Structure 1
């Protein structure tokens, strides 16, 4: 009896220890890392074993392949497509690129460049139709001043016209004279321009004498006396006058320091 009572007490003590509050029975783990049925019954609060289940490893590998764009052998094409790399559309022809085509530029219209100066042919055509002082030969105009000691140079070409320039100075160097003869050709004079520039105390008489003489050049229909008188009287005020095939213009804005007389032809053709 005594031995039976002692054995019963040991059994009760063992059961009390086994069902003590807060103590969970040990979880059996399979060799493959998958929890046993006992672990599943114990609840989900148990820590996961170190091993990873076969199903979990497969899912992890597939997710990694999807994120990096590298497909596992045997993986479906959709895994690589989800990596963010641009894939050709199913409807696009083989080898076609899905990159956006560059915008087409609008072709520019051809630029027509205008020459800064007329061509020799155009200048010659314009010169042949230029008005001129009828009856005044260029050599007679500049020759008049060469005989008076002026230094004459030319001809030079200016837009199809021939130009001679004659210059002189007074003995004291205070007054400068210039005469420019512009010709259409050797027989026709387009214009004659004279200028007087004075330094120091300017003299209206000096300008009147020089420009009056220039105005008296002879040509067909000329009136030398009238032209001389007009130039001498208007040297300080300026003005315009027409006689025959010549137009006279006095520029006296800077008088008496600088005065300019221009005689321009009005006869067109030959």
Structure 2
């Protein structure tokens, strides 16, 4: 299985390199080829995720480490700017004035002086009438719309507005059944891929299944996915978790509590926890 996972990774690398060549000025493929390539890459990523779940922890971490090394992009080095001295501008010398130039002008050649305007008579200003309170001023302003919740923004590594298999941190998200509010200690964690979930809106408005169905996400003390089954009895609510230890080992993000202490193990996304970047910037996971 390890050989299969590595083969999938090697297949996806040439596809990504091909898209880089198109971005460098070569002839772009037709739209139907672009769509087909995207679907194949996402399918291969999904299969690779499923294979990773079946590996022992040591082999899985080694595959993830090598895959992250392949995804590292060297930072762009800004071109050095060379300052050039401004061109010197020669100022012509002022001509010397002779005695004939400095002599005063005769009266007929002197510039005419403008007549001084006469002051206008002052007008008394009448006081403005007192404004009557209008009915419009009594109307209270409408409340501002609620701010969009961007709790999962740091996990959207490619910036396409959704969390999916194309994001490097997708594999660390899990769901656990909400059993009477005790889901933090009961039930097994389930992968998003096994539950058929393929996308999560970065603003936590909905999730999308493999068949295109969009489900609801509610936020209170947890982030809850309402999974709708074919029957009412099969519907269930599940809480979003993150594998904090594996996320920290990836080097891109860490899960910390309100005091900044690093969290480990399986952690629910709840008020008081935050994602911390490698630069030390702390981002809250839930809307205030």
TM-score by length of 2: 0.21
Work out which of the two has the higher radius of gyration on C-alpha atoms and give 1 or 2: 1
TM-score by length of 1: 0.22
